[in-house]
Structure 1
């Protein structure tokens, strides 16, 4: 019997605006004490071999949500994020201090992992769906991996874990949800030792608390959840720490909220960093509002609510009746419909989800002497075509002024890759660390980080992007990824600890735990942090260089040299004679000017501090490339859509155009052509300023309906001063589909009978069986029986016939839909009838698919990868009741045979004159590799084609005639 380890339920709902005086709690209850655990160090350890055998059946938590990408198509920005930071940071910092694997799918048994973890004085506690491990701070395992179910006496192992370290109390907080009771399961350590015993409770709610995110505050543990009604809660922190039997919970509905209609509804509570917080500081809840969601949202903004708690009389607790609204720079926080995948991976058509429209976990808050800061991050689409960057904010307030946006930016270096699933925090010096996942067409999903120092140019991540872990595989069995990452701060208030997912090999997710610092901690550490001028533009022979340098150290510095180089050549060494305090910046202008007068040239300029006692020299130098721009220079930098996929048809062609020049440009003519065909030229009406990019969608769509490769060439047509960067080219494919699935436990098909086909099979490789060499003849206008059996209970099957032979299964080619197979190893019969239509005659591909109902609610999708199931392809020849000689080809008269090693002859011995005939040759991906007209001699037809450039393998030859007649045969190139 199957056990679903974790089920993630996403609900889409809309909340009406509440009256401004609706500020009271809408839910009040107490938790149920479940008892005290044994020490976690004594919990049973996961038997990885047993889990791989028994539990991996439910390891993929499916989600088939299909929601609109963008309700308001006129929402800003129309063509990506024009404020994105396209350049990498250039300040080098210390390498990651600790870097070790956390857990993996074989230990945990569920996908996605939902990685979470927190750091304390001596430990790092880590959890994922549905396992917990405890490490020392050097990565040595002290406890686990143990099932989360072993912590709560009810044995629940449902998932969405969260781990927190409560620095104010020196205690550890663990949680997951309980699907059966709509409950929250909470555990608090009895002592500061996370490997010891825990007090445990359950808090049943009125509906399922999906995607719960918790934070630590001085008077409560706050949480939000993806649910209707009450979606924001506060738990009585003091009662939980004391192990009270009936701790209170208070729930609120967020007034004035509009949830994200595209994916998960996930506002975030503020999480306290450090131990300093005013006793009357309210709790804060933050949520983004995207005007692309439509409804009452007219501008992109953030909403902030304040919560004030009274644990003596919880009915006196309140939440802001009207939230504070902070208008932001325009952003697009939605991607492809959730559950379809957003970001490409190399070598596979399977995309992975980035989860748009949520505040990333977690929103971190820190108090400084003059202000309070709150760090907010979420994914945004930076090019209008699902390339993701991380939009980040530092919000500030103080005792006299409300929250405002101190700075915001979108970190999205222009390398074609997506950065997503970010998490950020701010250290005690005001430096911000941002860690994230990264992936794209040529890079498997990995983990990196960047950051910025207090005082750096606002809105910029200035720290050089640093690798935590490169991806070593891809995921082909599901789009699910994440669903969040988690960055926390060490008790030293300077070290960032991050956990996230990567693939250690194909389909093997693994979590990584890494720590890094921005502040070096050295006494003597000086370095250049920015070159302020010159910048790209029309430049001269006498340009002034101004730089910013930072004292990263802990003591003041004075009287040190700064060197200036152009193209690697030293042009000046000058002295800074003042004094710069610790953790501060200063500007310096060189007396020596430099010659940048060569039009079109890019110059490398670098400045370097040369403090003799410097203890960390990697951040001494800062390099900047500066271009003497042409006045007029525009070009296509990328072709963003369409991309390689299955079932392409009439598709929008989307390109990114960049203004490389010094002058603003408008009315730019841009064109595209497909496979050398006549170009389509249209005009971009918008003005593109120097250095900006604009994503343009052509009105006239391109035809990509035939299977095979397409080369798209796009270029700007306007004459300008530099033609070398005008154009871009890409090759994409319209592929046939060979879906993957896991049938190793008996799921899928063990018997298939149709006509003369009687095939008993075992699990096919990757869940896809090619039996197209088995052919049977079926008649139109006749009941056709099909028998299917499976090796596992609770399956269902569907059957498709590709009547139009385009290797794409349209809706009208589905002949049997989701017939149940309730019991394993039991024959189930179904039937279908084909209309007596001459156009359906011929030899066609038949596909049968079976899947486990609990993991894949429908089998009637011809191409989607199943979690558990199987796909098998066969060949059928359809005969109509009309005359064969008048209406169809006889497949037995169609033959293919080799002439020599490289040449094959295709012949058709017709029984009548069929007029003009042609053949097309396809590989098993459905890609067209040859097309030939046949030579006719009487009623006999033939053609020779060369296979010298084709790899060994199976190929299909399709014979076409008039009146939609066709037939297909398979042959093998050895």
Structure 2
């Protein structure tokens, strides 16, 4: 909050700044449909070479608490559970335990990043380079298949994630691609994961390290460890599960977050378990905040954000401000990253436990009366790098927000660390927790524990059970994990866990295990699908067919079923057959449904009403069915051209959808450029009902001039019954070149300050700051202050005086000035003369600053270099009037510090007109603006009350209200 007082008799009231959260909307690219995964050539098992996968250092880990006053001061976790071994409840025996992908199958990538998910009949396992599919007994059904081959990009880059989308009965497999900062995602075309997949690419603005996904009713949610731009995204899952083209991805920046000092920045999205969820439930993101990271974090807590996604108008999507959920004190900081955290027997090499992140996945389940969200992360329980797992169950409901229902730290006092945990909650509210276990006397292995919903809060009660004991150590690297993955079987009771262990020295192996904490319900049936009808030309007597699943342990017969249309009960009937435990059967209602209203969407709901049912929340299933118009086609997307540099004669590609019930062929389609004459062509191929096809026009569009163009594409079917969805319009900009370079090591500009511009920036590679304007006069020299965080940076600055959208040698105003000459790492701030030549053309022009490490900047301002950065600004060249000259040259601005962050600014000047005063923060954001009148014959006085301002550097700018000149002065708030 900022407050300024003006003299005389002027009061600036307090004002609050809230961070805007604009969305980034990206169009994904459909790469095509694969052949069946079972038909791919297998990766050849071979003796591997060490191939260590690195985490991109987006955030650097601290060696110790940055704030030593952070709790717990004594290092002892206040919630540590150290029960004696005989105080735990005996667990059920492991239901399954078998080896997944081996190090030789995986090509030796370290760490392997094991991930996996169970469907009704399969378990899909992946590590950093391959995917493999098993039945639930551990028999191989497909693979191992290289991820790069399978996902179609040819590169085995890493950080895979596997999910079973139980809402759609589809499998999801992803990895990142380093070459273009992309995520590659395959979604199975059918419920069979060994079959074909539809593959998509999402190219982002920075490398999406450590991507974690979740299943949610309105999208696939994603978080990533990125060093710039958005860190949270939502992907249009409806398009992907239906094999559509060009799904959108919407990006968000989390407001109010304090990043951790660890290697991985890892907020987590809520992942839906089960088919039940509140109406209009928002997406949830969670992140831990450790008061040992930063003095600004006053207590250990979680931050939670809500995301409301609007796929009809993605730009309307919003992310909320965070809510804080207090936790008992914890310490999430371990030893320095790169040295390892936990000892191994017989070697000095430690392995990493990954501190300061929410473990994958953060699983959510709705129980009707409340919703539970289980979250885990590693904590130091004794101040000596012994790790336990802090686990939290949050709850909310229709009226109450998120709060801690229970939390605990699982860390038996046996000298071993528990880490790399992952937890989930079953249909009865029982919690399962899988993890790695290791110490200086115990090779790393995998175990699990759990608790029953009726246990005392905050306690794991199930006896710790070994999934597999480690029989080796790793001596060549500290890297381990980087995550494990616990998921739920569709039956709602079986937990499936995969993690890494060493089966011999330097030989990792993924392991897959299943276990339950409850045998489930004896009597539990429900509708899981409405098979028919589908969208189409519907009648007044439509047959309704449903699928009934027996979730329970006992066989069931004579199951009552109900059918409703738009909430009105139209049938109460009985399925008289027998459904065995775990099996399904289809039933067709005798009563038909009237769905004959043209163009209307109906909501069908089928429901079982078994009197002895022990879990009624999964009884109903609903489906929307639309009576389609007969003839209705339209353009839903224009995928090319897209904005960029160097555009010329560009192809125009559109997606055309048949919204109607009748198949269509020879569909007329057209596009116009800036409202000009239409280019009319015909799609000869047949487009089936509700099918979307891509069409590329034969005639290209001339976009060669630097400009923003409007392209409208439309269908013009004569018999079309709904013209409102015929057309789509996009804007395409042919932009000036935007060369990018690697500035991640500190190359490039961290400050560019001249005249009114005072831009403190990060590493962008290329930064478009043309909204920032410097007012400059011909035949004048100006001091330009620049900062870089890596030395020997050559700097050249051009101003495009002739507005040709190219930068000529004659337009250089600084040529190869060396910042931090002869230096390497460090921060270097220097001032160099920027000379505006006599006779420079007046008006506004693009100003380009470009750096290059250890070599001169190329004369071609569009040429990309390996290291450095390019930033664009605007130079306003103007000739000063007599008044402006007097204001600039006959004025003196002083800022006097009065103590307690009170300041007085005095402008002494011969200028007699009205002036304004404005305050800016270091990011160039204007915080306050006010017109001033003279306080005395030759001075203006402004009192600045900065007592509530954050510490930092601020800029006061005073200028004439009727002239284009101003004076600036920096001052420091302490």
- Given that residues 61 and 261 in structure 2 are in contact (C-alpha distance below 8 angstroms), is that contact kept between their aligned partners in structure 1? no
SS at match of 1:240: helix
Counterpart CA distance in 1 for 2:512 and 2:303 is 32
Aligned pairs for 1:95-244 (under 5 A) are 95-109=93-107, 110-227=109-226, 228-244=228-244
Aligned pairs for 1:251-330 (under 5 A) are 251-320=251-320, 322-330=321-329
Give CA deviations for 1:265-313 in whole Å, capped at 9, x if unaligned: 0000000000111230000000000000014211000000000010010
Q: Residue 412 of structure 1 aligns with which residue? A: 411
Counterpart selection for 2:51 from 36, 53, 58: 58
- Given that residues 25 and 250 in structure 1 are in contact (C-alpha distance below 8 angstroms), is that contact kept between their aligned partners in structure 2? no
Give CA deviations for 1:751-785 in whole Å, capped at 9, x if unaligned: xxxxxxxxxxxxxxxxxxxxxxxxxxxxxxxxxxx
- Given that residues 93 and 520 in structure 1 are in contact (C-alpha distance below 8 angstroms), is that contact kept between their aligned partners in structure 2? no
C-alpha change, 1:200 and 1:75, in structure 2 (3 Å) is same
Counterpart CA distance in 2 for 1:334 and 1:431 is 29
C-alpha change, 1:20 and 1:407, in structure 2 (3 Å) is farther
Counterpart CA distance in 1 for 2:339 and 2:40 is 38
Counterpart CA distance in 2 for 1:250 and 1:60 is 28
C-alpha change, 1:39 and 1:47, in structure 2 (3 Å) is same
Counterpart CA distance in 1 for 2:248 and 2:262 is 33
C-alpha change, 1:484 and 1:344, in structure 2 (3 Å) is same
- Given that residues 21 and 253 in structure 2 are in contact (C-alpha distance below 8 angstroms), is that contact kept between their aligned partners in structure 1? no
Counterpart selection for 1:73 from 65, 68, 72: 68
SS at match of 1:504: strand
SS at match of 1:149: helix
Aligned pairs for 1:609-620 (under 5 A) are none
Instruction: Give the root-mean-square deviation of aligned CA atoms.
Output: 2.0
- Report how far residue 26 of structure 1 moved: 2.8
Give CA deviations for 1:556-597 in whole Å, capped at 9, x if unaligned: xxxxxxxxxxxxxxxxxxxxxxxxxxxxxxxxxxxxxxxxxx
Q: Within the alignment, does 1:82 sit opposite 2:75 as a pair? A: no
C-alpha change, 1:111 and 1:134, in structure 2 (3 Å) is same
- Given that residues 24 and 317 in structure 1 are in contact (C-alpha distance below 8 angstroms), is that contact kept between their aligned partners in structure 2? no
Counterpart CA distance in 1 for 2:54 and 2:106 is 13
Give CA deviations for 1:649-686 in whole Å, capped at 9, x if unaligned: xxxxxxxxxxxxxxxxxxxxxxxxxxxxxxxxxxxxxx
Deviates further, 375-384 or 147-156: 147-156
C-alpha change, 1:116 and 1:433, in structure 2 (3 Å) is same
C-alpha change, 1:151 and 1:554, in structure 2 (3 Å) is closer
Aligned pairs for 1:570-581 (under 5 A) are none
Q: Residue 39 of structure 2 aligns with which residue? A: 42
SS at match of 1:150: helix
SS at match of 1:138: coil
- Given that residues 133 and 146 in structure 1 are in contact (C-alpha distance below 8 angstroms), is that contact kept between their aligned partners in structure 2? yes
C-alpha change, 1:20 and 1:239, in structure 2 (3 Å) is farther
- Given that residues 438 and 445 in structure 2 are in contact (C-alpha distance below 8 angstroms), is that contact kept between their aligned partners in structure 1? yes
Deviates further, 104-113 or 389-398: 104-113
TM-score (norm 2): 0.51
Q: Residue 545 of structure 2 aligns with which residue? A: none
C-alpha change, 1:252 and 1:488, in structure 2 (3 Å) is same
Counterpart CA distance in 2 for 1:504 and 1:80 is 33
Q: Residue 91 of structure 2 aligns with which residue? A: 93
- Given that residues 23 and 315 in structure 2 are in contact (C-alpha distance below 8 angstroms), is that contact kept between their aligned partners in structure 1? no
SS at match of 1:108: coil
Counterpart CA distance in 2 for 1:96 and 1:19 is 56
- Report how far residue 69 of structure 1 moved: 2.3
- Report how far residue 20 of structure 1 moved: 7.0
Q: Residue 846 of structure 1 aligns with which residue? A: none
- Report how far residue 57 of structure 1 moved: 4.7
Give CA deviations for 1:864-913 in whole Å, capped at 9, x if unaligned: xxxxxxxxxxxxxxxxxxxxxxxxxxxxxxxxxxxxxxxxxxxxxxxxxx
- Given that residues 23 and 317 in structure 2 are in contact (C-alpha distance below 8 angstroms), is that contact kept between their aligned partners in structure 1? no
Counterpart CA distance in 2 for 1:263 and 1:57 is 22
Q: Residue 537 of structure 1 aligns with which residue? A: none
Counterpart CA distance in 1 for 2:344 and 2:275 is 42
SS at match of 2:70: coil
- Given that residues 62 and 480 in structure 1 are in contact (C-alpha distance below 8 angstroms), is that contact kept between their aligned partners in structure 2? no
Give CA deviations for 1:506-558 in whole Å, capped at 9, x if unaligned: 0000010000000034879xxxxxxxxxxxxxxxxxxxxxxxxxxxx999xxx
SS at match of 1:48: coil
Give CA deviations for 1:421-469 in whole Å, capped at 9, x if unaligned: 0000000000000010000011000000000000211000000000000
- Report how far residue 83 of structure 1 moved: 2.1
Q: Residue 535 of structure 2 aligns with which residue? A: none
Q: Residue 745 of structure 2 aligns with which residue? A: none
Counterpart CA distance in 1 for 2:104 and 2:391 is 34
C-alpha change, 1:23 and 1:397, in structure 2 (3 Å) is farther
SS at match of 2:429: coil
C-alpha change, 1:125 and 1:523, in structure 2 (3 Å) is closer
Counterpart CA distance in 1 for 2:189 and 2:280 is 27
Q: Residue 28 of structure 2 aligns with which residue? A: 31
TM-score (norm 1): 0.51
- Given that residues 332 and 356 in structure 2 are in contact (C-alpha distance below 8 angstroms), is that contact kept between their aligned partners in structure 1? yes
Q: Within the alignment, does 1:451 sit opposite 2:438 as a pair? A: no
Counterpart CA distance in 1 for 2:22 and 2:173 is 25
- Report how far residue 19 of structure 1 moved: 8.3
C-alpha change, 1:512 and 1:180, in structure 2 (3 Å) is same
SS at match of 1:41: helix
Q: Residue 661 of structure 1 aligns with which residue? A: none
Counterpart CA distance in 2 for 1:256 and 1:286 is 12
C-alpha change, 1:294 and 1:163, in structure 2 (3 Å) is same
C-alpha change, 1:554 and 1:185, in structure 2 (3 Å) is closer
Aligned pairs for 1:509-908 (under 5 A) are 509-521=508-520
- Given that residues 60 and 478 in structure 1 are in contact (C-alpha distance below 8 angstroms), is that contact kept between their aligned partners in structure 2? no
Counterpart CA distance in 2 for 1:169 and 1:325 is 33
- Given that residues 21 and 254 in structure 2 are in contact (C-alpha distance below 8 angstroms), is that contact kept between their aligned partners in structure 1? no
Q: Gaps spanning 5+ residues in structure 2: where?
A: 1-14, 524-551, 555-823, 825-974
Counterpart CA distance in 1 for 2:310 and 2:54 is 39
- Given that residues 94 and 520 in structure 1 are in contact (C-alpha distance below 8 angstroms), is that contact kept between their aligned partners in structure 2? no
- Given that residues 97 and 516 in structure 1 are in contact (C-alpha distance below 8 angstroms), is that contact kept between their aligned partners in structure 2? yes
Counterpart CA distance in 2 for 1:140 and 1:493 is 23
Counterpart CA distance in 1 for 2:158 and 2:35 is 21
Q: Gaps spanning 5+ residues in structure 1: where?
A: 1-17, 525-552, 556-817, 819-974
- Report how far residue 27 of structure 1 moved: 1.0
Give CA deviations for 1:248-277 in whole Å, capped at 9, x if unaligned: 000000000011112210000000000111
Counterpart CA distance in 2 for 1:62 and 1:427 is 33
SS at match of 1:107: coil
Aligned pairs for 1:455-470 (under 5 A) are 455-470=454-469
- Report how far residue 67 of structure 1 moved: 3.1
- Report how far residue 82 of structure 1 moved: 2.7
- Given that residues 484 and 499 in structure 2 are in contact (C-alpha distance below 8 angstroms), is that contact kept between their aligned partners in structure 1? yes
Counterpart CA distance in 2 for 1:278 and 1:212 is 26
Q: Residue 422 of structure 2 aligns with which residue? A: 423
- Given that residues 69 and 262 in structure 1 are in contact (C-alpha distance below 8 angstroms), is that contact kept between their aligned partners in structure 2? no
Q: Residue 381 of structure 2 aligns with which residue? A: 382
C-alpha change, 1:130 and 1:462, in structure 2 (3 Å) is same
Counterpart CA distance in 1 for 2:334 and 2:279 is 41
Q: Residue 348 of structure 2 aligns with which residue? A: 349
C-alpha change, 1:376 and 1:96, in structure 2 (3 Å) is same
SS at match of 1:292: coil
Q: Residue 828 of structure 2 aligns with which residue? A: none
- Report how far residue 121 of structure 1 moved: 0.3
Counterpart CA distance in 1 for 2:343 and 2:427 is 37
Counterpart CA distance in 2 for 1:70 and 1:302 is 18
